């Protein structure tokens, strides 16, 4: 095994082809509504990382059902995980969260789990307890936008949370047995490669179960685009260079960590740079090729063992 792919993890766990079905429950986020800031994180566009097929103006149940239909037709998906993806999906009163999560989960008998994407500073113990209770019937994943463990990088990215917020959220979620997935962005400002790779070791040591790796990419109309045009930020223009970094990262994390994603994705319509980000397969293919050529595998250089 080169690395632990999420598709195989789900196949082993559910003995079926499992896909996430994304919904937009109409949440906002404290980085947009003025609570922490306005304008959002520097890399976030108005669409708030929403899947292109999602329409936030229709009820959750309908979003789930139409998403399931599309995933069945396109990929032969058999079981589903409701994915509360856009913006911060724990950012509402507790009773409202319970209602929304319940609506998504009850939409189809083929739903086996739920995945909640949010900021590390938006997971109170009460929210975690709600998610923990759902584990009696469902597989529950908590996706945290950690992005970096570097204070300077987080501040320049206008995240307005600290590395310690991420550590705190991960530890409390792990205490409740949730499947924790960290989102990391490679290439934020001038974060050095050893810092990026050490982030993977930190996630490993904290017991994080899975990871979604994104390359920094520039979406049209964002402040990041202005910085890019002025030559103030760089992105991995060469996919090979980024894939090499991903391989070194994989070599340094726990071998059992589930790899849910290796690159970011944006449609050609929205994307400014790097243009290869509109091809979802380019990095998985390159990573596989490089790993085979190097004879390497996930966790090869992970030194911390129980
Ligand atoms: S990335 Fe997340 S936290 Fe940042 S502005 Fe977008 S939705 Fe808000």
For residue range 123-166, what is the model confidence (pLDDT) as tens digits? 999 999 999 999 999 999 999 999 999 999 999 999 999 999 99
Indicate whether 131 belongs to any domain: yes
Distance between Cα 237 and ligand 1 center (Å) = 24
What is the per-residue pLDDT for 243? 98
Ligand 1 pocket: which of 22, 26, 27, 31 to mutate (most atoms <8 Å of CB)?
31
Query: Ligand 1 atom closest to Cα of 44?
Result: 6
Is residue 60 pLDDT above 70, yes or no? yes
Binding pocket residue ranges, ligand 1, CB within 6 Å: 29, 31-32, 40-41, 44, 48, 87-88, 119, 145
Q: Rounded to an integer, what distance in angstroms lies between the CA atom of residue 159 and that of residue 163?
A: 10
Instruction: Report the DSSP beta bridge partners of residue 62.
Output: none
Residue whose CA is at the smallest distance from ligand 1 atom 5: 40
Mean pLDDT of the chain: 95
Q: pTM for this one?
A: 0.96
SS (H, E, C) 56-89: CCCCHHHHHHHHHHHHHHHHCCCEEEEEECCCCC
For β-strands 271-273 and 218-219, DSSP reports them as antiparallel
CATH number at residue 237: 3.20.20.70
Q: Give the chain's domain count.
A: 1
Q: Rounded to an integer, what distance in angstroms lies between the CA atom of residue 56 and that of residue 50?
A: 9
Distance between Cα 44 and ligand 1 center (Å) = 6
Is residue 177 pLDDT above 90, yes or no? yes
What is the per-residue pLDDT for 47? 62
Distance between Cα 160 and ligand 1 center (Å) = 10
What is the per-residue pLDDT for 305? 74
What is the per-residue pLDDT for 44? 86
Indicate whether 301 belongs to any domain: no
What is the per-residue pLDDT for 117? 97
Indicate whether 300 belongs to any domain: no
Confidence of residue 50 (pLDDT cuts 50, 70, 90): low
Indicate whether 306 belongs to any domain: no
Indicate whether 75 belongs to any domain: yes
């Amino acid at each position: 095994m080169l690395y632990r792919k999420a598709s195989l993890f789900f196949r082993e766990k559910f003995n079926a082809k499992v896909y996430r079905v994304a919904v937009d429950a109409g949440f906002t986020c404290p980085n947009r509504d003025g609570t922490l800031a306005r304008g959002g994180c520097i890399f976030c566009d108005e669409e708030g990382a929403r899947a292109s097929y999602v329409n936030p103006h229709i009820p959750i149940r309908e979003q789930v059902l139409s998403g399931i239909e599309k995933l069945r037709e396109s990929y032969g998906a058999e079981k589903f995980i409701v994915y509360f993806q856009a913006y911060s999906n724990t950012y509402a009163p507790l009773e409202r969260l319970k209602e929304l999560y319940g609506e998504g989960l009850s939409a189809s008998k083929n739903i086996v789990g739920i995945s909640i994407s949010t900021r590390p500073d938006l997971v109170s113990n009460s929210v975690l307890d709600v998610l923990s209770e759902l584990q009696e019937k469902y597989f529950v994943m908590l996706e945290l936008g950690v992005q970096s463990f570097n204070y300077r990088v987080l501040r320049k990215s206008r995240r307005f949370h600290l590395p310690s917020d991420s550590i705190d959220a991960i530890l409390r979620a792990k205490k409740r047995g949730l499947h924790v997935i960290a989102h990391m962005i490679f290439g934020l400002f001038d974060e050095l490669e050893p810092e990026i790779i050490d982030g993977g070791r930190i996630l490993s040591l904290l017991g994080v179960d899975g990871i979604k790796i994104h390359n920094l990419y520039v979406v049209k109309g964002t402040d990041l685009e202005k910085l890019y045009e002025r030559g103030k930020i760089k992105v991995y223009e060469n996919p090979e260079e980024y894939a090499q970094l991903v391989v070194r990262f994989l070599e340094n994390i726990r071998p059992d960590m589930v790899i849910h994603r290796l690159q970011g994705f944006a449609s050609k319509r929205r994307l400014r740079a790097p243009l290869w980000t509109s091809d979802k397969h380019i990095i998985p293919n390159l990573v596989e090729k490089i790993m085979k050529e190097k004879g390497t595998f996930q966790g090869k250089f992970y030194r911390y063992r129980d």
